[in-house]
Amino acid sequence: MRYVEIDFFRGIALIMMLISNFVTDLQYFAGYDQYQMFWRMFALLTASMFVFISGVSAWMSHFHASMSKFLKRFFRLFGLGLAITVFTKIFLEEGTIYFGVLHFLAIAGLLAIPFLKFGPYNLFLAIPFFAGKFLVEGLHSENLLLLPLGITPVPFFTFDYFPVFPWFGVFLLGVGTGAVFYPDGVRRFDFIFPENPVSGMVSALGRHTLEIYLIHQPVFASLLLLYLGNLPGVKIL
Is residue 158 within 8 Å of 164, Cβ to Cβ?
no
Rounded to a whole number of angstroms, the distance between the first and last alpha carbons of the chain is 45
pLDDT, tens digit (0-9, with 9 covering 90-100), for 220-237:
999 998 988 888 878 765
Is residue 135 within 8 Å of 165, Cβ to Cβ?
yes
With a cut of 90, say whether residue 158 has pLDDT above it: yes
Is residue 236 within 8 Å of 87, Cβ to Cβ?
no
Neighbouring-strand partners of residue 234 = 92
Residue 67's Cβ-side half-sphere holds a number of Cα atoms within 13 Å equal to 3
Q: Tell me, what's the pLDDT at 129?
A: 98
Q: Tell me, what's the pLDDT at 29?
A: 87
Instruction: Give the domain ranges of the chain.
Output: 4-228
- 140 class by beta-carbon count within 10 Å (0-12 exposed, 13-18 middle, 19+ buried): middle
Q: Tell me, what's the pLDDT at 63?
A: 87
pLDDT, tens digit (0-9, with 9 covering 90-100), for 44-99:
999 999 999 999 999 999 988 788 888 999 999 999 999 999 999 999 999 999 99
